[in-house]
């Protein structure tokens, strides 16, 4: 083609060419500068800040799915399992897989036999969470529901089954106050420091041993690293770290004894504590009514909670450590120890009981209206003569009593590794001055001497006190775990008995008291004859704790007194009498009489204890003969 067809071609004028070259050079400079800028930027992004960006890219694509670890087991002192872990199946909802949520949720609701609004509420509650996070719609579904869902899974997009370890309570509500329960971590707990390893949705111990020993029981969560795309769809599984099960807790509790205690308590409200006198190990920690654990699974519902809260039997209270009651005549052990040790009386000192004593312008009655006549130390304890101890108390003075009571571990926390351990109260002149800005009145000493007035104690305190009195005077710290073992059986931690020191009080006085306490059970006139067993000698002390002294109740028949005004019944004891092994303390709320209400419970425990010891396994419990009320103490 010839250029002539278009236009005349002018060769560029050399001057102009020079100018053009100059401008091309400028253009080149612009291009070099721009390229340098781009390369610098590239260097900045890829080399200078590359490591940051690779982290961001990894964060984009890697999602960590956690697999809960099976929680450690709880075993009794013989190694028998009390609570184990098993897989449980939860129904979870994945918003990202659900193209048609309304229809699917409707179907699901009918399979789960739930109202659809319940499911919708749960989904709504999680609206703030990232979309890929699964929402738990129902926990621990049964096998039939599971198979139904699995069979229909194609028509239920968005519905998945999640397998999580769950607690298996082999004995139902057994020792439920002590053991506690587990539940989903709450938003407030998540903020607390001790839970910094946990995440929303985790199960943690909420109460009792489950809570206190949570860090041992929880195990280590497994992790699955998933690669996901921008829509959250799983691409492949990259790496899996198996969960590591939690450690096993070997409790000092004895299943058989605990069950015997729970059975013997029946529907009575109260507490049973059994302690090995020479170690402080607790074999029984029973508080009735038992905590209904099922209600707490998946969060307790408000109406149920309110019902439990207002139940006159106080099922929410762990009465062994939280229940503070006047010890009543059980406190005479303290007064007796103080009196003999301080020398204000000796074993032959007698007082005459006419049924009452006048002090100031007030009359202090003995529970036995007709009076005990002349009683010595031994008889006074055996028959629980109030007048004798009024007089002894008067001689001692309140501060002496308080000194001995404190030394026996009363009026302060026991140091048991549980929450809400209450200290009770031992009054003294100093206490009264501080608390009421008032001086101590001597008359008040009389009440305290028989365990009334300001005094209050917990069942665990009295059990430990009894153990100390009969084991030669050592006050042990109550313990409920004797060792913690790893899943492969290695001992991680073991707990040996911890002595909290010797009690004050002479050997001689302790011997006298022990002798008298055996008399309470085995001698005529003793207040706890009902507890007697054929082969074993048992020592003990009954007590009745006045709840209120109301004129309108005077003279009413026992059954006519409204439940909440009835007296509490105590019995604290030990056996065998010659070489004590265990101390058993029973409290029956509003049980009215230590001997008749609390005694049989202790008897059932001893019976089981010695059966087990002699190898007579699980003899069927014969029907307990109805207790014939003997002399009633006040």
Partner 1 sequence: MLRFDRRLLLNFDLVLLGAVLVVALIGLANLYSSTHLYTNVGVPLYFKELTYYLMGAAIILLIISCDYRVLLTLNYPLYALMILLLLFALVFGKNISGAQRWINLGFFRLQPSEPAKLILVITLASYYYRKDTGRGFGLLDLAIPALLTGLPFILIAKQPDLGTGLLLVFVFASMTIFVKLQRTTLATILCGGLAFIPIGWKFFLKPYQRQRVETFLNPENDPLGTGYHIIQSKIAVGSGRIIGKGYLQGTQGQLDFLPERHTDFAFSVWAEEWGFLGSFTLIICYFFMILWGLNIAISARDKFGVLLAFGVVSLIFWQAFINLAMVMGLLPVVGVPLPLFSYGGSSLLTNLAGLGILMNIRMRRFMGTS
Stretch that binds partner 1, among 9-17, 108-116, 178-186, 458-466 (CB under 8 A): 9-17
Q: How far apart are CA 263 and CA 268, in angstroms?
A: 10
Up-side HSE of residue 200: CA atoms within 13 Å toward CB? Answer: 10
Q: Which of 176, 329, 341, 391 is catalytic?
A: 329
* Element containing residue 491 per DSSP (H, E): strand 491-494
Which one among 14, 23, 193, 403 touches partner 1, defined by CB under 8 A?
23
Q: In whole angstroms, how close is the CB of 200 to partner 1 at the nearest point?
A: 22
**The one segment of 11-19, 207-215, 560-568, 605-613 that binds partner 1 by CB under 8 A:** 11-19
Closest CB to partner 1 among 27 and 304? 27
Enclosing H/E stretch for 272: strand 270-276
CA pair distance 570, 270, nearest whole angstrom: 10
The two tokens of residue 488 are 């492969």
For the bound state, the minimum distance from the C-beta of residue 226 to partner 1, rounded and expressed in Å, comes to 12
Whole-angstrom distance, CA of residue 501 vs CA of residue 27: 95
Number of C-alpha atoms within 13 angstroms, CB side, residue 383?
22
CA-CA distance, 538 to 552, in Å (whole number)? 38
CB of 32 vs partner 1, minimal distance in Å: 8
- DSSP label of 631: S
Q: How far is the CB of 232 from partner 1 (least distance, A)?
A: 10
Find the part of the chain contacting partner 1 (CB under 8 A) among 4-12, 277-285, 549-557, 592-600.
Answer: 4-12
Question: Which one, 54 or 64, has the nearer CB to partner 1?
Answer: 54
- Asked if 34 is an active-site residue, the reply is no
Q: How far is the CB of 151 from partner 1 (least distance, A)?
A: 30
3-state secondary structure of 230: coil
One of 10, 193, 552, 625 touching partner 1 (CB under 8 A):
10
DSSP 439: P
Pick from 7, 154, 623, 628 the residue near partner 1 by CB under 8 A: 7
The footprint of partner 1 on residues 330-349 (CB under 8 A) is: none
In whole angstroms, the minimum distance from the beta carbon of 58 to partner 1 comes to 8
Provide the minimum distance between the beta carbon of 217 and partner 1 in the complex, in angstroms, as a whole number. 38
117 vs 523: CA distance, rounded Å: 68
Q: Which is nearer to partner 1, 7 or 551 (CB)?
A: 7
Stretch that binds partner 1, among 19-27, 385-393, 409-417, 479-487 (CB under 8 A): 19-27
Pick the closer one to partner 1 by CB: 131 or 613: 131
Tell me whether residue 10 or residue 302 sits nearer to partner 1 (CB atom).
10
Answer for which of 3, 489, 524, 626 binds partner 1 (CB under 8 A) is 3
Give the chain's largest Cα–Cα span: 153
Q: Which residues 30-89 are close enough to bind partner 1 by CB under 8 A? A: 31-32, 34-35, 37-39, 41-43, 45-47, 49-54, 56-58, 60-61
Instruction: Work out the burial of residue 115: count CB atoms within 10 Å of its CB; fewer than 13 is exposed, 13-18 middle, 19 or more buried.
Output: exposed
Residue 27 within binding range of partner 1, rule CB under 8 A: yes
User: In angstroms, rounded to a whole number, what is the distance separating the alpha carbons of residues 166 and 195?
Assistant: 19
Nearest CB to partner 1, comparing residues 30 and 192: 30
Q: Which of 387, 269, 458, 267 is nearest to 634 (CA)?
A: 387
* Residue nearer to partner 1 on the CB measure, 32 or 118: 32
CB of 28 to partner 1, least distance (A): 6
- Shortest distance in whole angstroms from residue 495 CB to partner 1: 51
d(CA 284, CA 172): 16
Q: Residue 469 — left, alpha, or beta (φ > 0 → left; ψ -120 to 50 → alpha)?
A: alpha
Q: How many residues bind partner 1 (CB under 8 A)?
A: 50
Total residue count of the chain as it appears in this document: 634
Q: Which residues contact 160 (CB under 8 A, 6 or more apart)?
A: 91, 92, 93, 94, 97, 134
Burial of 500 (0-12, 13-18, 19+ CB in 10 A): middle
Shorter beta-carbon distance to partner 1: residue 226 or 353: 226
Query: How far, in Å, CA of 392 to CA of 377, rounded?
Result: 10
Q: How many CB atoms lie within 10 A of CB 454?
A: 17
Decide whether 13 or 419 has the Cβ nearer to partner 1: 13
- The phi and psi torsions of 535 (rounded to 5 degrees) equal -100, -15
d(CA 462, CA 327): 8
> Which secondary-structure segment (H or E) carries 380?
helix 377-382
Site string for partner 1, 202-241 (x = CB under 8 A): -------------------------xxxxx---x------
- Under the rule (CB under 8 A), what is the footprint of partner 1? 1, 3, 5-13, 16-17, 19-21, 23-24, 27-28, 31-32, 34-35, 37-39, 41-43, 45-47, 49-54, 56-58, 60-61, 227-231, 235
Catalytic center residues? 329
């Amino acid at each position: 083609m010839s250029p002539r067809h278009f236009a005349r071609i002018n060769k560029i004028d050399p001057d102009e060419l020079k100018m053009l070259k100059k401008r091309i050079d400028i253009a080149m400079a612009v291009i070099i500068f721009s390229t340098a800028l781009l390369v610098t930027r590239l260097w900045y992004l890829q080399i200078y800040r590359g490591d940051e960006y690779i982290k961001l890219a990894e964060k984009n694509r890697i999602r960590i799915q956690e697999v809960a670890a099976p929680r450690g087991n709880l075993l009794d002192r013989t190694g028998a399992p009390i609570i184990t872990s098993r897989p449980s199946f939860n129904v979870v909802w994945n918003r990202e897989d659900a193209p048609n949520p309304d229809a699917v949720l409707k179907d699901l609701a009918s399979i789960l036999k739930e109202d659809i609004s319940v499911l919708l509420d749960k989904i709504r509650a999680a609206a703030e969470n990232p979309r890929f996070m699964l929402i738990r719609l129902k926990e621990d579904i049964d096998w039939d529901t599971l198979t139904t869902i699995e069979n229909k899974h194609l028509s239920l997009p968005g519905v998945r089954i999640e397998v999580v370890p769950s607690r298996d309570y082999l004995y139902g509500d057994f020792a439920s106050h002590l053991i506690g329960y587990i539940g989903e971590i709450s938003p407030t707990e998540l903020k607390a420091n001790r839970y910094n390893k946990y995440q929303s949705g985790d199960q943690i111990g909420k109460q009792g041993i489950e809570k206190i020993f949570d860090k041992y029981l929880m195990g280590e969560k497994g992790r699955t690293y998933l690669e996901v795309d921008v829509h959250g769809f799983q691409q492949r599984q990259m790496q899996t770290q198996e969960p590591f099960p939690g450690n096993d807790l070997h409790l000092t509790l004895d299943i058989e004894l605990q069950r015997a205690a729970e059975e013997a308590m029946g529907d009575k409200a109260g507490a049973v504590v059994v302690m090995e006198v020479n170690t402080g190990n607790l074999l029984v920690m029973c508080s009735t009514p038992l905590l209904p654990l099922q209600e707490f699974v998946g969060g307790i519902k408000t109406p149920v909670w309110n019902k439990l809260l207002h139940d006159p039997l106080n099922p929410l209270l762990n009465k062994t450590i939280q229940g503070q009651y006047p010890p009543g005549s059980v406190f005479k052990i303290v007064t007796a120890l103080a009196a003999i040790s301080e020398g204000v009386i000796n074993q032959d000192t007698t007082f005459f009981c006419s049924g009452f004593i006048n002090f100031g312008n007030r009359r202090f009655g003995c529970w036995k209206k007709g009076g005990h006549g002349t009683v010595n130390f031994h008889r006074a304890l055996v028959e629980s003569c109030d007048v004798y101890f009024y007089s002894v108390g008067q001689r001692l003075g309140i501060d002496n009593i308080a000194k001995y009571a404190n030394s026996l571990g009363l009026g302060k926390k026991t140091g048991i590794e549980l929450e809400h351990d209450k200290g009770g109260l031992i009054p003294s002149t100093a206490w009264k001055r501080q608390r009421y800005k008032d001086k101590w009145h001597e008359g008040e000493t009389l009440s305290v001497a028989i365990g009334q007035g300001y005094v209050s104690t917990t069942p665990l305190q009295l059990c430990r006190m009894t153990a100390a009195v009969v084991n030669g005077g050592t006050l042990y710290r109550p313990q409920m775990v004797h060792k913690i073992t790893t899943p492969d059986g290695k001992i991680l931690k073991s707990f040996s008995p911890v002595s909290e020191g010797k009690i004050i009080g002479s050997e001689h006085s302790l011997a006298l008291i022990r002798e008298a306490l055996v008399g309470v059970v085995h001698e005529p006139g003793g207040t706890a004859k009902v507890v007697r067993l054929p082969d074993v000698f048992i020592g003990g002390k009954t007590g009745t704790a006045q709840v209120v002294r109301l004129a309108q109740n005077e003279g009413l028949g026992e059954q006519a007194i409204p439940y909440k005004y009835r007296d509490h019944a105590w019995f604290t004891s030990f056996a065998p009498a010659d070489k004590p092994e265990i101390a058993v303390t029973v409290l029956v709320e509003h049980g009215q009489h230590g001997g008749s209400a609390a005694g049989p419970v202790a008897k059932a425990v001893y019976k089981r204890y010695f059966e087990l010891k002699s190898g007579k396994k699980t003899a069927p419990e014969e029907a307990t003969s109805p207790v014939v009320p003997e002399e009633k103490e006040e």
